[in-house]
Structure 1
Amino acid sequence: MTRGFSIYLDALRFLAALVVFASHMGYDRFTNGSMAWIRTLNLGSDAVVVFFVLSGFVIAFTTFARDRGPAAYAEARIARLYSVIIPALIFTFALDTLGTLTVPGAYQGWWYNGEDRIAQLLQGLTFTTQMWTDNTRVGSNGPFWSVAYEAWYYAGFGVAVFCKGRTRILLLALMALVVGPRVLLLGPCWLLGVGLQQLVARGHAASLSRTTGWLLAIAPWAIYAFALALHMPQRLTWYTYKLLGEQITPNALFGFSDEFVWNFGIAVLMALHFLGVYRLAREADWLGARAETAIRWCAGATFSLYLFHYPILTFLHGLPAYDSAKPLHAALMAAVTLVACFLLAEVSERRLGFWKRLVHGVFERLKPSPPTASGSGSLLSQRERG
Structure 2
Amino acid sequence: MPTESVAPPALVTTHEGGRGAFFWTDVMRFCAATAVVAEHARDFLFLTFAEAQAPGAGWKLFYFITGFGREAVMVFFVISGFWITSAIDRRRKGPSFWSDYLIDRLSRLLLVIVPALLIGGLFDLISLRLHSPYAEGLSGALSLTASIQPRMEPQVLLGNLLFLQNIAVPTFGSNGPLWSLANEFWYYLWFPALLLALIQRRPNLALATIAIGLLAPLSLYGGFGVWLMGSALYYLDRMAMAGAFRSRIAAASGPGRLAWLGAAACLLAATASASRLDRLHDFADPAVGLAFALFLWVVLRLDPRRRPAMAAFAGYGAKASFSLYATHFPLVVLLATLLTAGQRGAPDAKTVAMLVLVLAVVLAAGWLFSLLTEQRTAQVRARARTLFLIRSQA
- Measured against the shorter chain, the TM-score band is 0.7 to 0.9
**Following TM superposition, by how much is the alpha carbon of 1:95 offset from its aligned partner in structure 2, in angstroms?**
1.2
Equivalence for 1:177: 214
**Following TM superposition, by how much is the alpha carbon of 1:364 offset from its aligned partner in structure 2, in angstroms?**
3.2
1:30 lines up with 2:66 in the alignment: no
In structure 2, distance between residues paired with 1:213 and 1:79: 40
Structure 2 letter corresponding to 1:152: W
Unaligned runs of 5+ in 2: 1-16, 50-58, 138-144
Equivalence for 1:251: none
RMSD between aligned residues: 3.0
Equivalence for 1:264: 286
**Following TM superposition, by how much is the alpha carbon of 1:145 offset from its aligned partner in structure 2, in angstroms?**
0.8
**Equivalent residues of 1:214, 1:277 under 8 A apart:** no
Using the TM superposition, name which of 337-346 and 61-70 deviates more.
61-70
**Structure 1 residues 362 and 180, CA gap change in structure 2 (3 angstroms):** farther
Equivalence for 2:382: 357
Structure 1 letter corresponding to 2:135: Y
**Following TM superposition, by how much is the alpha carbon of 1:324 offset from its aligned partner in structure 2, in angstroms?**
4.6
Q: Which residue, 161, 179, 184 being the options, matches 1:125?
A: 161
Q: Which residue, 154, 158, 165 being the options, matches 2:192?
A: 158
Alignment of 1:133-282 (within 5 A): 136-163=170-197, 164-168=200-204, 170-171=207-208, 173-179=210-216, 181-203=218-240, 207-209=246-248, 210-211=251-252, 214-227=258-271, 234-237=278-281, 259=282, 261-281=283-303
1:59 lines up with 2:74 in the alignment: no
**Equivalent residues of 2:159, 2:169 under 8 A apart:** no
Q: Deviations over 1:178-214 (max 9, x none)?
A: 5452311211100010100000111169721234765
TM-score, with structure 1 as normaliser: 0.78
Q: Deviations over 1:285-314 (max 9, x none)?
A: x634x8546622453110111111111110
Secondary structure of 1:203 counterpart: helix
**Following TM superposition, by how much is the alpha carbon of 1:162 offset from its aligned partner in structure 2, in angstroms?**
3.9
In structure 1, distance between residues paired with 2:314 and 2:271: 30
In structure 1, distance between residues paired with 2:62 and 2:212: 35
Equivalence for 2:9: none
Q: Which has the larger radius of gyration?
A: 1
**Equivalent residues of 1:103, 1:319 under 8 A apart:** no
In structure 2, distance between residues paired with 1:205 and 1:40: 42
Equivalence for 1:306: 325
TM-score, with structure 2 as normaliser: 0.77
**Equivalent residues of 1:216, 1:273 under 8 A apart:** no
**Following TM superposition, by how much is the alpha carbon of 1:329 offset from its aligned partner in structure 2, in angstroms?**
2.6
Structure 2 letter corresponding to 1:305: L
Structure 1 letter corresponding to 2:208: L
**Equivalent residues of 1:56, 1:194 under 8 A apart:** yes
- Identical counterparts, % of pairs: 26
In structure 2, distance between residues paired with 1:232 and 1:31: 18
In structure 2, distance between residues paired with 1:83 and 1:39: 35
**Equivalent residues of 1:205, 1:275 under 8 A apart:** no
**Equivalent residues of 1:214, 1:280 under 8 A apart:** no
Q: Deviations over 1:113-161 (max 9, x none)?
A: 2115211111111111122xx6713101121110010100001123124
**Structure 1 residues 232 and 321, CA gap change in structure 2 (3 angstroms):** closer
**Equivalent residues of 1:26, 1:37 under 8 A apart:** no
